[in-house]
Amino acid sequence: MANNSPQAKQAAQLHAIADNYPAQQQQPSQKKASPEPGGKENNTGLPDNLKSGIENLSGFSMDDVKVHFNSDKSAQLNAHAYAQGTDIHLASGQEKHLPHEAWHVVQQKQGRVKPTMQMKGEVNINDDAGLEKEAEVMGAKALQMNTNSIANLTSSSIVQKGVMQRYLIVDNTDYTRWYREMSATKVKDADIKTDLNMAITNIAIKMINALDAKNAYENTVIEAIRTDNVNANKLRSQITKWIVDNPGDKSSVKSHPDFGRKRQTRVYANYKDLALALYGWVSAKPNRHQEKEKAKEVQANDAIDYHLNSILLLINGWIERHTSKLQIKDDLKNHGTAINGHSWNIYQNYFEHAGKGNKTKLPASYTDVIINPQNYDVRQKTGILHDIMHYFMEKEKVEPTVNILGGMPALNATEINPAGGTSRVPYNRPRNSQIRENQLDALKLVNPAHLPGGTLNPVLVSGEESHKSYKFARSKNLPMFGRHSFTAARMMTMVQGADGTKKQISAMAWAIMAYWRQNYDHTSIPYHTLHEIMDFAPDFGIAYDPDHPMQGLDDFTHAGFIKILKEEILGNPKDRDIDKLIGQDTPTNVAAFFLQHRALWANHKVMTFLQTTVLPTADFLALNAEELYDFFDYNSINQDLLHKIPEERRQHVLSGSLLAT
């Protein structure tokens, strides 16, 4: 209900409302209000600017509101004005209370109003002081919002971007809504900052009180909160971002150049979970940065590129051997066709329409990538492999024999055991924070009716910080963001199902990590971190050490790659492997390797290389003379070559004949 005290600062504006309603207009049925912008007629009794202001601040339509001027019902309650449902009753001459009562309508639409008094006539009255103060502030703010200010709010808000803010809700307190409404009522930025800092200080106190100082890790978090002011206010800065920042914002030099800042939906049941998540996120920042740099290395890594080529060729071979190969090929060719009503070309379709430029798009032909993988880079191949995995996942549901994903092992995660050590136990994924579009109002703020604990489609509260896999990761400062990845596990399973090697499975895991870190639009859904992927790797027979998470990349060094190529060539000399070795190693090293293995001389590419490559004299003379003699004596062409090379070289070759005898 409106109080009787005048608000001096609003006097001129309130008089303007009264001026809009002269005596002859106090019976709205006699004269309709002017149309709203866009041509829609406003028949509510609310002035256009007030109606628009209320709608833009609240996200609720006011089309169903009815203002009753000269209402005798107000007098019955001994009040100047009151709101009941969508009806606003104003006593004679009390139009100045209209903004206040209009916000009471919003509060009732939000489901926040509960009757605390009951008057005669069974009229329920709410006299909550907090709601009254809010109605004063927000009603006045709505009145101040002219057409230009409303347009500015919309253009600068996340409504236009189509995504929600980074969001923070703790113990049913919506801090993001509080900040938005608080900042909308302030004129000076300094006042906004002061109120925000006070709120964060109160949050810090609540976090400390919620933690157990007797627990070693939690005590570390307590001390970090207490000493944050001497540690560059890292925790305060981060929680400010969770409350205030918009995902997709590229204003920071640290933001992703294509997608902007990460989306982070943070909903916690209590301040202990908030504290653990906040400290865990900030403490893992150096390792997140390291993952980002490693992701760049992965996408430039020749060994991983080679292994992805092998994986795609293996998948193509698996398809060729399958009895349904024609249908599978047709499905991949016509990738716009859903399988059992489910689309599977997820990344290709998304980036085709995301408007992020060609450097984010994926190849149009899945078939060509499978057959000619060497023509595509690591990013393109990884995105296509992700979609192919989804194809097989959907296809197996309708055709069980298409079961390249059928061999997924039981998935385990590393946890801290009761003895203080670690154990790998069956993974049971914790719930994460989720806020869906249908839980938001027009300003992309959570409708209070959907807050946690409610019965009306409540937002989901994170259970991550109490999960043992998270506790382990936090103890190691391992980055955690999207929870352990079943998608990555399925991609590793696909490689395994195509008869891929452990090296190839590992390469797939590193490639998808790099793709998610570098090329994934994380303004929509959190990406999976290295640990969230690699902690499943041991289930595929791949070593992973959480204490040294980057160690697995050692398998893909240049020297390691050369070794793998040589092993492949000795096992089954393929032209692509021979060409790759020639391109990766020095001519002298390649020549020495080919000379050592007489069985390879039957291969045309090997023989051509040895016959046509001219090495520096010193390098030639360093080659094994016995192997050289054997080579030049191999056939008539080589025998003829021996007579054409310089004398010093020929004598070195002939010395090999003496060694042979």
Residue 59: pLDDT band (50, 70, 90) is: low
Q: Averaged over 336-361, what is the pLDDT? A: 87
> Is the pLDDT score of 261 beyond 90?
no
Q: Please give the DSSP secondary-structure letter assigned to residue 24.
A: G
pLDDT in tens, 174-190: 999 999 999 888 878 88
What's the rounded Cα separation, in Å, for the pair 248 and 156?
13
**Neighbouring C-beta atoms of residue 424, cutoff 10 Å:** 14
Instruction: Tell how far CA 106 is from the center of its chain.
Output: 33
Reported as type and span, the H/E element at residue 169 is strand 167-170
* Helix, strand and coil in the chain, % to nearest 5: 55, 5, 35
Q: Do 260 and 523 meet the contact criterion of CB atoms below 8 Å apart? A: yes
What's the rounded Cα separation, in Å, for the pair 275 and 179?
20
Residues 6+ apart with CB under 8 A from 309: 373, 374, 381, 576
Count of helix runs (H) and strand runs (E) in the chain: 30, 10
pLDDT in tens, 86-113: 999 988 888 888 999 998 998 887 777 7
Q: Averaged over 319-336, what is the pLDDT? A: 93
pLDDT in tens, 156-212: 222 323 334 489 999 999 999 999 999 888 878 889 999 999 999 999 999 999 999
What's the rounded Cα separation, in Å, for the pair 300 and 156?
38
The whole-number pLDDT of residue 8 equals 35
> Is the pLDDT score of 152 beyond 50?
no
pLDDT in tens, 430-458: 999 999 888 998 888 999 999 998 778 89
Query: Where is pLDDT greater, at 601 or 119?
Result: 601
Least confident of 42-56, 357-371, 640-654: 42-56
Query: Where is pLDDT greater, at 428 or 76?
Result: 428
Q: What is the chain's Cα-based Rg?
A: 35
**Boundaries of every domain in the chain:** 8-151, 161-283, 292-430+477-556, 560-660
Q: Give the full edge-to-edge strand order of the sheet including 173-174.
A: 173-174, 167-170, 265-268
> Is the pLDDT score of 38 beyond 60?
no
What's the rounded Cα separation, in Å, for the pair 11 and 575?
86
Query: Residues 380, 385, 386, 392: what is their CA dihedral angle, to the nearest 10 degrees?
Result: 150
> Is the pLDDT score of 3 beyond 60?
no
> Is the pLDDT score of 36 beyond 50?
no
Q: Do 508 and 308 meet the contact criterion of CB atoms below 8 Å apart? A: yes
Q: Averaged over 12-22, what is the pLDDT? A: 33
SS3 track for 487-516: HHHHHHHHHHHCCCCHHHHHHHHHHHHHHH
The whole-number pLDDT of residue 69 equals 87
What's the rounded Cα separation, in Å, for the pair 58 and 142?
9
Q: Please give the DSSP secondary-structure letter assigned to residue 646.
A: -
| DSSP secondary structure letters along 200-231 | HHHHHHHHHHHS-TTSHHHHHHHHHHHTGGGT
What's the rounded Cα separation, in Å, for the pair 661 and 652?
15
pTM: 0.71
Give the SS3 label for residue 536. coil
Q: Please give the DSSP secondary-structure letter assigned to residue 251.
A: -
Query: Where is pLDDT greater, at 255 or 18?
Result: 255
Give the SS3 label for residue 11. helix
> Is the pLDDT score of 123 beyond 70?
no
Residue whose structure tokens are 């016509």:
334
Residue 270: pLDDT band (50, 70, 90) is: very high
Q: Averaged over 218-227, what is the pLDDT? A: 97
Least confident of 74-83, 279-288, 349-358: 74-83
Residue whose structure tokens are 């000493």:
227
The whole-number pLDDT of residue 442 equals 84
Query: Where is pLDDT greater, at 329 or 258?
Result: 329
Q: Are strands 81-84 and 87-90 parallel, antiparallel or unpaired?
A: antiparallel
The whole-number pLDDT of residue 153 equals 32
**Average model confidence (pLDDT) across the chain:** 85
Q: Averaged over 38-55, what is the pLDDT? A: 78
> Is the pLDDT score of 336 beyond 70?
yes
Residues 6+ apart with CB under 8 A from 197: 236
Least confident of 141-150, 303-312, 493-502: 141-150
Residue 658: pLDDT band (50, 70, 90) is: confident
What's the rounded Cα separation, in Å, for the pair 393 and 345?
12
Residues 6+ apart with CB under 8 A from 612: none
Residue 521: pLDDT band (50, 70, 90) is: confident
What's the rounded Cα separation, in Å, for the pair 219 and 276?
11
